[in-house]
Structure 1
């Protein structure tokens, strides 16, 4: 393949002759997009991938930072959630564009552009990040099972191994079935927190004021630390690989106009889905602020504590039950997308194929084994520290996904007329610089805590 232009958007047939199989081959171009139809019918055909991506922005790893931010500082950090969400909208739109225009996912693009040692390093880092993500989801689901059904953490961790079977069943029923389940679970989370918001009766004036950036965040070290934690836990590196692949499940016209239309509808899909993620993350912080901060409980930072305190403070067990159900749905949702990302990354970086069930089993075992060992030895406190460590691993890997993404989508030889315009290049590199600097700071501060 020519090194001058490794990202020509090839057809499915030319991909195989060039030695690169289509990304996520079993679902590639499997969903038809109606031609000569109303715009809303075309848009509905593209709805789905954005929600699989948005799941990563509300996984259990985000919950602790949102709860801590709300309990300690009230509504002030809502502006940080909004800022991190805007960053996510830009980066995910770039990932979707890369997949649609080039016919490559981000992992395949890295393999074709970089030398083999660099590719292997990026693959190992990405696998560690996916394992860390899955670890957070395993622990989050286990915490939910303990809170809702009083199942010991160790057993809860083991039970989460079974849900890998659900992914296999759904995969056999087609990609749309997987997308539908994810959307249903996201709607469940949104409904649960919508009711909790109603029960918490937050100060709407304070909520609106919280979305306005406040210079106090930069002046208060404790507030800044949690703010960086919120941003660091929001943009997930595996989501960029995932999005660049699953947008290719749509069967689009391989023409400039067809790609332009696909980019527009794909961006609409991810933006709407990420707006729902913004609502859920904001709702977690708002409930924490309205219930805990207003009652003077400024040290609530753990998921289990928040669950147990909601009932006595709001006077109803419904609030705690809904909180637990939302957490369980969040963990399961993130599991579905995390294991899918694992398959995309291995196939993209290494250009090898192994059975989907084996790939998912390996991914899940990598997460479950350390969780089981730590839970058995150190108990619940150990799993909480493991949750923190998983977020640090994610922060370490993030620049290695964001920087290549911005590079590739800004390259005219790769993207042609779809290359990032100057204004988008500037915004993208500023976002990249902010994320890298904040994540480095977060890692340094977290290491000091240990």
Structure 2
């Protein structure tokens, strides 16, 4: 068993614990306390349900999600239409997400050396290009994921030493809020956890690394659920530390004081450590997002998913360039990150419905085909997200 094979679930968890998660969870805790924990719990459960489908699809078919979709549609017109839909949805979503990744990493680095967020975004975009072009990014990605894990542990310890008000937290936990003022934050929490491109990435990772069937499907399914659950706990602690520092206080959370929530533990070093963590989270996700888009788009267009191929490189390069372009447009940093997460939340129902279609129709699924309970759970996820989106935009 190769080392890479054992990491697919944790790569997915690391992909969604990016600067969007840190910023969105911090804003949720600072502005709404624990009143939005229900949205996080829903997001984690929904992610486990949908990623489990992606794992089973990749394992059974030995192909990515785009390839599986293309082979299951007999009508040429519908096949082309759905391929264009996948290309458009993942392309737009990942471009927005890439902007948030680069912006988040730039926020961190700019607090150490203030050359400006646009300048740092360009440098980070160039670094992501070099890493992906070389194909030797995996060791660096592992190091960055370790830095994100260290940052997560600091949030846990900070929360523990901050003397939390357990009564207030419990009261807010059992008083969920879904007001118009909170809808954008709710969609952002959903979008930063249930990331549409992770469905494509997970299926492709399983398909490419389990060609010989050396591990049972259950191994990857358990790993996926465990990794996503750990990612959800990390998000919860980020929300809790922001609640302790900002909720009910006169000072509002913004891009300049995000690190304040770590001050009870790290004191004067809080800003430096937070900056390094945001850089690690941002660059890790800035590599993963265009990589997933390349898998999705090349599969939909029936092009080789070769990392050194011209089509594969053209897709991820376009995503990075568009992401850098968004950061140069002058959009406020936290607004860019929140927009990226909300965009993911809006794109998710379309991708989830396509996944449900394949999990019921693909001839190679066998015993890994969706049962009625998985279909009900998947439709419930799509229904709630669709209702929230309707409330926001209608």
Normalised by the length of structure 2, the TM-score is: 0.86
- Cα drift, residue 282 of structure 1: 0.9
Residue 425 (str. 1) matches residue 375 (str. 2): yes
Q: Is the 8 A contact 2:152 2:234 kept in 1?
A: yes
- Cα drift, residue 274 of structure 1: 1.1
Residue 348 (str. 1) matches residue 348 (str. 2): no
Q: Is the 8 A contact 2:66 2:200 kept in 1?
A: yes
C-alpha distance in 2, partners of 1:78/1:309?
18
Instruction: Identify if the C-alpha distance between structure 1 residues 306 and 186 changes in structure 2 by more than 3 Å, giving closer, same or farther.
Output: closer
C-alpha distance in 2, partners of 1:277/1:298?
30
* 2:153 alignment partner, one of 177, 182, 191: 191
Q: Is the 8 A contact 2:105 2:282 kept in 1?
A: yes
Q: For each residue in 1:58-106, what CA deviation from the matched residue of structure 2 results, as whole angstroms up to 9, or x when unmatched?
A: 2222333322221223223223212211111111111111000012211
Residue 307 (str. 1) matches residue 259 (str. 2): yes
- Cα drift, residue 140 of structure 1: 0.7
Query: Larger Cα Rg: Structure 1 or Structure 2?
Result: 1
- Equivalent residues in 2 for 1:47-196, closer than 5 Å: 47-112=6-71, 113=73, 114-165=78-129, 167-168=131-132, 171-172=135-136, 177=139, 180-181=142-143, 183-196=145-158
Q: Is the 8 A contact 1:48 1:179 kept in 2?
A: no
Q: Is the 8 A contact 2:188 2:342 kept in 1?
A: no
* 1:264 alignment partner, one of 206, 210, 218: 218
Q: For each residue in 1:190-228, what CA deviation from the matched residue of structure 2 results, as whole angstroms up to 9, or x when unmatched?
A: 233234324433234555666x5x35424x443455334
C-alpha distance in 2, partners of 1:172/1:209?
49
Residue 390 (str. 1) matches residue 352 (str. 2): no
Q: Is the 8 A contact 1:237 1:398 kept in 2?
A: yes
- Cα drift, residue 361 of structure 1: 2.8
- Cα drift, residue 393 of structure 1: 3.0
Q: For each residue in 1:204-255, what CA deviation from the matched residue of structure 2 results, as whole angstroms up to 9, or x when unmatched?
A: 4555666x5x35424x44345533432233211111111110112324545x
- Cα drift, residue 130 of structure 1: 1.1
Aligned residues: 384
SS at match of 1:300: coil
* 2:177 alignment partner, one of 217, 220, 224: 217
Q: Is the 8 A contact 2:29 2:243 kept in 1?
A: yes
What is aligned with 1:367? Answer: 323
SS at match of 1:413: coil
What is aligned with 1:203? Answer: 165
Instruction: Identify if the C-alpha distance between structure 1 residues 209 and 215 changes in structure 2 by more than 3 Å, giving closer, same or farther.
Output: closer
- Cα drift, residue 48 of structure 1: 0.8
- Cα drift, residue 346 of structure 1: 2.2
Instruction: Identify if the C-alpha distance between structure 1 residues 140 and 185 changes in structure 2 by more than 3 Å, giving closer, same or farther.
Output: same
- Cα drift, residue 286 of structure 1: 0.5
Q: Which has the higher contact order (CA 8 A, sep 6+)?
A: 2
Instruction: Identify if the C-alpha distance between structure 1 residues 224 and 155 changes in structure 2 by more than 3 Å, giving closer, same or farther.
Output: closer
What is aligned with 1:297? Answer: 249
- Cα drift, residue 330 of structure 1: 1.1
Instruction: Identify if the C-alpha distance between structure 1 residues 307 and 215 changes in structure 2 by more than 3 Å, giving closer, same or farther.
Output: closer
Instruction: Identify if the C-alpha distance between structure 1 residues 181 and 439 changes in structure 2 by more than 3 Å, giving closer, same or farther.
Output: farther
- Cα drift, residue 384 of structure 1: 3.8
Instruction: Identify if the C-alpha distance between structure 1 residues 47 and 118 changes in structure 2 by more than 3 Å, giving closer, same or farther.
Output: same
Q: Is the 8 A contact 2:125 2:320 kept in 1?
A: yes
C-alpha distance in 1, partners of 2:148/2:89?
28
C-alpha distance in 1, partners of 2:129/2:185?
36
Q: Is the 8 A contact 1:67 1:302 kept in 2?
A: no
SS at match of 1:202: coil
C-alpha distance in 1, partners of 2:342/2:155?
27
The RMSD of aligned alpha carbons is 2.8
- Cα drift, residue 357 of structure 1: 4.7
C-alpha distance in 1, partners of 2:351/2:274?
32
Q: Is the 8 A contact 2:8 2:205 kept in 1?
A: yes
Poorly superposed stretches of 4+, deviation over 6 Å:
none
What is aligned with 1:339? Answer: 290
Q: Is the 8 A contact 2:18 2:101 kept in 1?
A: yes
C-alpha distance in 1, partners of 2:314/2:175?
50
Note the residue ranges of structure 2 that are not aligned, 5 or more in a row: none
C-alpha distance in 1, partners of 2:272/2:168?
26
Using the TM superposition, name which of 264-273 and 221-230 deviates more.
221-230
What is aligned with 2:203? Answer: 244
Normalised by the length of structure 1, the TM-score is: 0.77
Using the TM superposition, name which of 320-329 and 97-106 deviates more.
320-329
Instruction: Identify if the C-alpha distance between structure 1 residues 314 and 243 changes in structure 2 by more than 3 Å, giving closer, same or farther.
Output: closer
C-alpha distance in 1, partners of 2:147/2:109?
16
- Cα drift, residue 366 of structure 1: 1.6
Instruction: Identify if the C-alpha distance between structure 1 residues 415 and 45 changes in structure 2 by more than 3 Å, giving closer, same or farther.
Output: same
